[in-house]
Amino acid sequence: MSSLTLADAQEQLRSGSLTPRALTESIIAAIEAGDGKIRGYNSFDAEAALAAADTADVSLPLGGLPIAIKDIINVKGEALTCSSKILEGTFTSPYDATVIAKLRAAGAIPLGRTNMDEFAMGSSTENSALGTTKNPWDTSRIPGGSSGGSAAVVSADLALAALGTDTGGSIRQPAALCGCVGLKPTYGRVSRYGAVAFASSLDQIGPMTKTVRDSAMLLNAISGHDAMDSTSLDEAVPDFTAALGKEIKGMKIGLPKEYFIDGIDPEVRAATEAAVKQLESLGAEPVEISLPHTEYATATYYVIATAEASSNLARFEGVRYGHRADAPKDLSDHYMRTRAEGFGAEVKRRILLGTYVLSSGYYDAYYIRAQKVRTLIRQDFSEAFQKVDAILSPTSPVPAFGIGERCDDPLQMYLADIFTIATNLAGICGISVPCGFTKEPKLPIGLQILAPSMQEERLISIADAYEQSTPWHKERPC
């Protein structure tokens, strides 16, 4: 039963051929049997999930459907770790994040906290202090990050679907590397209240699923204005499932020349080019476009994101909650040792970089300049969307790489998100869908589709049309 899509499980629940308890028990059994191989979950509360299943109303939009939750989103009464030693075993969420409250209102059952890069800082899930998640297609390789646990458990059929967060590609990149669907909504479309902040002007919660239809179902449930989030947009929420099954004939699909560059894995390039031809056969028109400030996106992102991270992570000082150093000599020693012991190397690296770019004498040279370049990147997309309906590219320039392969080279690790980070800087929406596999070993390849702000319906229509005309989403790892 854990191999079902959300839509298929919903159909069986409503027909009475399946009960919420039987479905939940099946997923729990799959986790117990299979998660030891991939390490996708940090924890799961089987008793709470089964109790919720026993009272589930299957007539609700997501009634009786268990959903895995990235371990950066608060679920009342459950441990929250952000895959960091500074919170491990010390913090229990006292409230539900808005997305969790919305899932519960729609009848869904939160089940399991998925592994991630510590505080969502990474592209491989190797930065988790609780253990590295492995790619279900090849357990010697990374699943992507930072939502690597969510992607892995969906791909391995240890979850029907999951929530992730995307700050610079952390939903789309692991979805691509694990062969599932990952949707990053428009900034402000989904409330961030209750998600631990990494970079507040970039973070966004979104669905990770087996099909585009499932992503539309989840997005219906979690979208909408929230007074608890000052960045939440007060916009009407359409029925995203109504965008499924639409023709895309006549749509113009932009191919940015800056995204089809040397250095892309040949098999990734070939799969992307084949996807372009497939969309063309469905009536779409490929159009070459330019996003001229793309070359500055990575540097801009790592100035802005680290600056905001430095500020957001200042609250983890061991006074109010979290890890606390033993027998500090004084307050200064307490702060220094607590944070040195609690944070991993990548988090420390980003705090140091962010503090530097915000410091006196460097604020204007780095942070303010990066914000100006961000405006230029946003303008690039605005101008491009005047000519095309959507933009297409590889999600990741390479398939999943080996565990440990890039740990000693942070720059190469950062470049894993080269095609995804500009989306967050511009605040637009994007999705990754499976578009093929490498030959040897067999590894998934993801196709990224981008659309203007608040145009998730268009995004879903194009992604669904492509998905339904290809077989890639039906394949599962052994």
- Max CA-CA distance within the chain? 70
The catalytically annotated residue of 70, 134, 184, 210 is: 70
Q: Of 465, 140, 410, which is closest to residue 284 (Cα–Cα)?
A: 465
Q: Is the CB of residue 67 less than 8 Å from the CB of residue 5? A: no
Coil, helix or strand at residue 320 = coil
Q: Which residues contact 100 (CB under 8 A, 6 or more apart)?
A: 69, 73, 74, 75, 76, 110, 194
Cα gap 459→337, rounded to integer Å? 47
The answer to whether 70 is a known catalytic residue is yes
Q: What is the DSSP string of 171-202?
A: THHHHHHHTSEEEEPPTTTB--TTBPPSSTTT
Is the Cβ–Cβ distance between 220 and 244 less than 8 Å? no
Where do the DSSP E strands lie in 231-278? 252-256
Rg, C-alpha atoms of the chain: 21
- With 0-12 / 13-18 / 19 or more C-beta atoms within 10 angstroms meaning exposed / middle / buried, residue 407 is middle
* 146 included as an active-site residue: yes
User: Which residue from 40, 43, 9, 42 is spatially nearest to 26, judged by alpha carbons?
Assistant: 9
Identity of residue 241? T
Q: Exactly one of 2, 83, 128, 146 is catalytic; which is it? A: 146
∠ CA 193-198-199 to the nearest 5 degrees?
Answer: 95
Among 83, 84, 170, 223, which one carries the catalytic annotation? Answer: 170
User: What is the torsional sign of CA 149, 151, 153, 156?
Assistant: negative
Question: Cβ distance 12 to 18 under 8 Å?
Answer: yes
Number of neighbouring beta carbons within 10 Å of residue 263: 9
**SS3 of 82-135:** CCCCCCCCCCECCCCCHHHHHHHHCCCEEEEEECCCHHHCCCCCCCCCCCCCCE
Please provide residue 208's backbone torsions phi and psi, each rounded to the nearest 5 degrees. -130, 120
Q: What residues does 437 pair with on adjacent strands?
A: 444
Cβ-contact 410, 352 below 8 angstroms: no
Q: Is 24 helix (H, G, I), strand (E, B) or coil?
A: helix
Which residue numbers are catalytic?
Answer: 70, 146, 170
